[in-house]
Structure 1
Amino acid sequence: MFMVEEYVNASKVQYQDAMDVIEEFDKEISETKGKCIDVGCGPGEVTKRLLLPKLPSGVEVVGADISKPMIDYARDKYRDEKRLSFTYLDIQTEELPNEHVGQYNNLFSFFCFHWCHNTGRTFENVWKLLRPGGTALTMFPASTEIFNAYEKLHENPRYKPYMQDVDRFVPYFHRCKDPRAALRTLLEDIGFEIQHCSRRERSCIFQNTQTLKDHVTPINPFVSRFPDQDLQEEFMDALMREMATMKIQFSKKDYSDQKELGILNRYQLLVAYIKKPSDAR
């Protein structure tokens, strides 16, 4: 993701969902000890504003992300926060940098792991980052209509050349009949002790199609590939039309002369709180 300012301005849904999970696990977070890493920290808003205040005063957090623009933004904005630092990290890399392996007592990740096409390696790397006895709290989308819309638009000859790797951006759990069961199996096979694992139905309302577009554009992996702005706009408009057919639209009171349809966005989240056994290597 390269549209940092746009993402910050249009990520209220992600921020609220992260806030809810952090509040739910308030007790566990407040008892945290040692060094922490927030994987997929993006611009650092959740790390700084939601996570850091819940942690004990002596705990430091490393925010990690694969996006250089995101990390540069976070480093600049929060450069005066002594308990917070930021680093580049690909959580699904084949080989983690040695300086991160086994260095963290706690790992957090919000709205990141659905970007990872190799889910097994992603959680294997979570294991490697943690020290024995370390914990991880993760939350990410299991299913949402935008993934179906990507697959649909991939069939269009105008867009297909720029979406050849569409499967990379449709998460594994989106195709599972029982995402929660699939996640539990994956975690158990790696060796984690599962403290909590759930699938949640969530919803939010976008005021109109434009607010939905503002929300989707900064996290769209394809739009920047199109060779000119006209084709980018055409693609995003087509994506909005496709998503609108999958969502519930409804009339709402509008005290101006213009009438707009609100858009109900429904999606599923997976939440897991897991532990690396104390005797693990």
Structure 2
Amino acid sequence: MFNPTLYHKANSLQRRDATDVLDKYLHLVEWRKDGKDVVLDVGCGEGDVTINILLKRLPIDFHSLTGGDLSVEMVDYAKNIYATDKIDFVLMDIVAEPKPEHINKYDHIFSFNCLNWAQDQASALRSMYNMLNETGDCVITLVAKHRIFDIWKLMSEDPRWEQYMRNTDKYISPYNNSLNPAVEFRKLLLGAGFKNVKVQVKHKTHDYIGMKNYRDSAAAVNPFFKDIPKHLHEEYLDHFMYITGELGYLEEDNNGREKELIKTNYSSLLAYASKR
């Protein structure tokens, strides 16, 4: 989350999830007749998914595409690599009240694996609603349940790491322990004012080619590295990998490959909603 270069190299799960939700719900998006759509990607990260997945699916004459993210490092990286006359990246806290210039601005809002970081789901969805114009709609996917959250919780109770992981619950998906995350998310969308709400839970398996790829991915999304001294990062990751193995969360499937295939299981929420 704070290392754009590493995140860019290890975001295969995020890319797959974005593709999945677009394949599921993009046909419901009501594009402008003049093709001049104004689009926002909430939680754009370092811009890879925004540019290499979302941009390719926009009308050819779209008016503008904005990526918003809470991380200064991610926004700066995206600006330096991807910004153009029609594409920009800005700092944005989706839980906070939208800035006046964002109110009623967007025809469409997309968000890929961002809202699972927002503990105040109602405020986040209300902000998205207020940033859409009167005919706007949104496509959202987020991680509902993932074993990585359980591992973080265990590590936060270890004397070596507890001082650096005191706010662990802040980074665990609000739906990680939910019995019916789709019902909960649907109620929140309706409560924010959205109509034509469609929500589904998809149980997934994601494959990482080799332990290093899995380890890099785990490091790329780890929110605690900013507080853990750099000289302890490798020890921390070693412990992360150890616990992952002890809990039986890694399924190795060599099947004649040169590198082992690491299989992880998780659940995603996929949603579409509009203001009309």
TM-score calculated relative to the size of structure 1: 0.90
In structure 2, the partner of 1:18 is 18
Deviation at 1:30, TM superposition (A): 7.6
Structure 1 residue 234 corresponds to structure 2 residue 235: yes
Q: Give the paired residue count.
A: 271
Would you say the 8 A contact 1:187–1:194 is kept in 2?
A: no
Deviation at 1:250, TM superposition (A): 2.9
| Aligned counterparts of 2:218 and 2:252: Cα–Cα separation in 1 | 20
In structure 2, the partner of 1:86 is 89
| Aligned counterparts of 1:170 and 1:129: Cα–Cα separation in 2 | 26
Structure 1 residue 38 corresponds to structure 2 residue 50: no
Identity %: 27
In structure 1, the partner of 2:176 is 174
In structure 2, the partner of 1:69 is 73
Give a deviation string over 1:94-133, Cα, whole Å, max 9, x none.
x221111111111001011111121111111111111112
In structure 1, the partner of 2:128 is 126
Q: 1:235 to 1:187 in 2, by over 3 A?
A: same
Structure 1 residue 51 corresponds to structure 2 residue 54: yes
Deviation at 1:274, TM superposition (A): 0.4
Would you say the 8 A contact 1:153–1:160 is kept in 2?
A: yes
Structure 1 residue 163 corresponds to structure 2 residue 165: yes
| Aligned counterparts of 2:269 and 2:155: Cα–Cα separation in 1 | 26
Give a deviation string over 1:34-86, Cα, whole Å, max 9, x none.
3111111111111112212211122121111111111111111123x332111
Deviation at 1:248, TM superposition (A): 4.1
Give a deviation string over 1:201-227, Cα, whole Å, max 9, x none.
111222332221111101101123122
Deviation at 1:28, TM superposition (A): 3.5
1:151 match: secondary structure: helix
Would you say the 8 A contact 2:205–2:265 is kept in 1?
A: yes
Q: 1:90 to 1:255 in 2, by over 3 A?
A: closer
Amino acid at match of 2:235: E
| Aligned counterparts of 2:70 and 2:253: Cα–Cα separation in 1 | 40
In structure 1, the partner of 2:218 is 216
| Aligned counterparts of 1:69 and 1:140: Cα–Cα separation in 2 | 22
Structure 1 residue 197 corresponds to structure 2 residue 196: no
Q: 1:176 to 1:163 in 2, by over 3 A?
A: same
In structure 1, the partner of 2:252 is 250
| Aligned counterparts of 1:261 and 1:70: Cα–Cα separation in 2 | 31
Q: 1:273 to 1:233 in 2, by over 3 A?
A: same
| Aligned counterparts of 1:228 and 1:64: Cα–Cα separation in 2 | 28
Q: Could you tell which deviates more after superposition, 214-223 or 33-42?
A: 33-42
Q: 1:255 to 1:117 in 2, by over 3 A?
A: closer
Would you say the 8 A contact 1:249–1:261 is kept in 2?
A: no
| Aligned counterparts of 1:56 and 1:36: Cα–Cα separation in 2 | 11
1:172 match: secondary structure: coil
Would you say the 8 A contact 2:142–2:269 is kept in 1?
A: yes
- Unpaired segments ≥5 residues, structure 2: none
